Amino acid sequence: MDQFTKRTMAYAGAGLGALWIVKELTRQKRSFSFKGKTVLITGGARGLGLVTARHLAKAGANLAICSRDIKALEKARNELLQVGGRVLAIPCDVTNRVQVESLISTVASHFGRLDVLINNAGIIEVGPMQEMRFEDYDEAMNTHFWGASLRHHRCPSPFAAPVPSTHHQYRFFRG
Ligand SMILES: NC(=O)c1ccc[n+]([C@@H]2O[C@H](COP(=O)([O-])OP(=O)(O)OC[C@H]3O[C@@H](n4cnc5c(N)ncnc54)[C@H](OP(=O)(O)O)[C@@H]3O)[C@@H](O)[C@H]2O)c1
């Protein structure tokens, strides 16, 4: 092999190595660990909220789940405890301002922090148009719209660890 070929191959190898390092650093920067983070999932007692909770429990998050049905909450909590980690189950109607205030402060004082809010609680009303009542729409709007405003309640910033987020100190997910 002549000198030119050797040098070209060495440069190509170094280039590929540098590319791999850059890709690896970018991947690590993008990844986010839930280990030890406190995550509040509204409507976490069943459905998509519970599925999310199972994943986060496996990922090592401290979980707080809420819903209106105490029995469903307890059942979900027991199941999540089997996966591991710490789980707090709190009865709360997200349309009720007072209950939401209490929910936030209970989570923050129990875990000492609140890092992630997953605003999942919601209701899906399905039926023929002529059968639907005003109250059905009203309830859905109250849950989805005002429930979503949970983040405006005092998520106590002193409890929050800084997490990488482009918009807020907290990360928000809507159902
Ligand atoms: N499943 C879908 O295909 C789909 C599609 C698009 C969007 N979504 C949205 O994804 C979210 C979860 O859907 P899902 O299918 O998992 O629903 P789901 O099985 O009915 O579960 C909804 C959860 O929210 C809770 N919840 C409802 N109203 C609440 C309130 N006022 N306060 C506190 N908790 C409340 C329910 O518990 P309690 O009733 O006991 O309070 C339950 O734990 C909803 O926001 C839904 O609109 C779902």
Q: Which residue has the tokens 């709190």?
A: 90
Looking at domain 33-174, does it have CATH number 3.40.50.720? yes
Ligand 1 mean position to 125 CA, how many Å?
Answer: 11
Mutate to test the pocket of ligand 1, among 41, 42, 66, 67 (most ligand atoms within 8 A of CB): 67
Name residue 64's beta-bridge partners: 40, 88
Name residue 41's beta-bridge partners: 65, 118
pLDDT at position 155 = 55
Give the residue extent of every domain in the chain. Answer: 1-31, 33-174
Ligand 1 interacting residues, C-beta cut-off 6 A:
42-43, 45-49, 66-69, 72, 92-95, 120-124, 143, 175
pTM for the model = 0.79
Which residue did the predictor score with more confidence, 24 or 121? 121
For 174, phi then psi, to 5°, come to: -105, 140
Residue nearest to atom 29 of ligand 1 (CA): 121
With 0-12 CB in 10 A as exposed, 13-18 as middle and 19+ as buried, what is 40?
A: buried
Lowest-pLDDT range, 61-65, 84-88, 105-109, 157-161? 157-161
Question: Amino acid identity of 24?
Answer: E
